[in-house]
Structure 1
Amino acid sequence: MADEHELAEIQRRHWQTTYTAHPGMYGGQPSAPAVHAAEAFRTAGSVNVLELGAGHGRDALFFAREGFTVQATDFSATGLEQLEDAARAQGVAKRVTTVVHDVRDPLPLEDSSVDAVFAHMLLCMALSTKEIHALADEVRRVLRPGGVFVYTVRHTGDAHYGTGTAHGDDIFEHGGFAVHFFPRDLVDELAEGWTLGEVHAFEEGDLPRRLWRVTQALPR
């Protein structure tokens, strides 16, 4: 079993290799959670969106096409290069900026500088519970009062939970991808001090993966 830092580096290399071998691997259509998030952000009056773990950019590009200004981060430079190419091709490059960033580090943004944050299956990557809490604190720091945070995570009701290679802390690895499966109490802990709008259960993919879509907002 790899330790925390070794596992993080293994996952970084795995995603780099995957994006290189499979450009645009998730296709060009936005995820269902991104469509929900765009409506939630618009209702809240958001103008700019920070996406964590943007990958090759299907959701970041969707937000840009919807008129938002988007800051997209990922720890894969390859994925973000594909995002930039697609942004130019779609005519939305002026509304999209990218930053190579590992969410284990503080976010490279000022306090209260963004209106909304989106993260599709980023929080359930190979992050320890401590790292997940630290990331949630960073999201709180960079969001403006009333800002909205929409994220999705695979949960402990997923078919892969408890199987594959165990790394401890509810992290299990399948096919080279390590996932931190969320128990409900972790979602509730991350919502402390926020207004929790909903925890919506849904399925995605062929397994299917079982996820929660969480929508929460900072008090104004």
Structure 2
Amino acid sequence: MADEQELAQSQRRHWQDTYAAHPGMYGEKPSEPAVHAASAFSAAGAENVLELGAGHGRDALYFAREGFTVQATDFSPVGLEQLRDAAHSQGIDQRVTTAVHDVREPLPLPDASVDAVFAHMLLCMALSTKDIHALVGEVRRLLRPGGVFLYTVRHTGDAHYGAGTAHGDDIFEHGGFAVHFFPRELVDALADGWILQEVHAFEEGELPRRLWRVTQTLPR
């Protein structure tokens, strides 16, 4: 437990320092998973979106520009400050709210209060398998029946799996960033009680990173 808390604290500091040193580090263009998610959320009739691990907000801002009301959370106040500034400059700040939140803690939202949840590479951060299951349980609690949960994770076929510093539980730290690489069994376990609609393999960025885009829906 102490090792997990120490890793969590070091990762929080690392992300804070990274966002401070590299404002808007991922650019303004939305990720491809966010573009896909906006289409999926619209098809499901969603009006409001919760993004977990929003960072400096490229995807949250995209959702807002697409007409969704967006709640963006991250454990980095620096990243969220950049998000709010960008929302104001784009004239969409009325559609975006932010909250500093560590996903190891319960989400401060009522039951069945959200239409859709998006998390791009948040679940594969330095979270234990137990933490990940608890988080997906929280997502299930706050989604309305028929709500959509779309997330992406790096998986065990990624080039960095097994490289760098091992922290156990399929977590490896490389270049200062700790990643929980997902085996397919974990994806299936997290979909228990859901309707698993898609597990789509894709690549992103340098190396390239190898990920799954997972879409699952809460039964009505």
Normalising by the smaller structure, the TM-score range is over 0.9
Q: TM-score, normalised by structure 2?
A: 0.99
**CA offset digits 1:14-72 (Å, max 9, x no partner):** 00000000000000000000000000000000000000000000000000000000000
**CA offset digits 1:135-184 (Å, max 9, x no partner):** 00000000000000000000000000011000000000001000000000
1:126 positional shift: 0.0
Number of paired residues? 219
1:40 has 2:60 as partner = no
1:94 positional shift: 0.1
Distance (whole Å) between structure 1 residues aligned to residue 74 and residue 133 of structure 2: 18
**Structural RMSD (CA):** 0.6
Unaligned runs of 5+ in 2: none
Regions of 4+ moved over 3 Å: none
Secondary structure in structure 1 of the residue aligned to 2:162: coil
Secondary structure in structure 2 of the residue aligned to 1:201: strand
**CA offset digits 1:49-103 (Å, max 9, x no partner):** 0000000000000000000000000000000000000000001000000000000
1:14 aligns with 14
Matches within 5 A, 1:112-131: 112-131=112-131
1:96 has 2:96 as partner = yes
2:201 aligns with 201
Which amino acid counterpart does residue 3 of structure 1 have in structure 2? Answer: D
Distance (whole Å) between structure 1 residues aligned to residue 207 and residue 108 of structure 2: 35
**CA offset digits 1:175-218 (Å, max 9, x no partner):** 10000000000000000110111000000011100000000000
Distance (whole Å) between structure 1 residues aligned to residue 182 and residue 28 of structure 2: 28
Distance (whole Å) between structure 1 residues aligned to residue 148 and residue 206 of structure 2: 30
1:170 aligns with 170
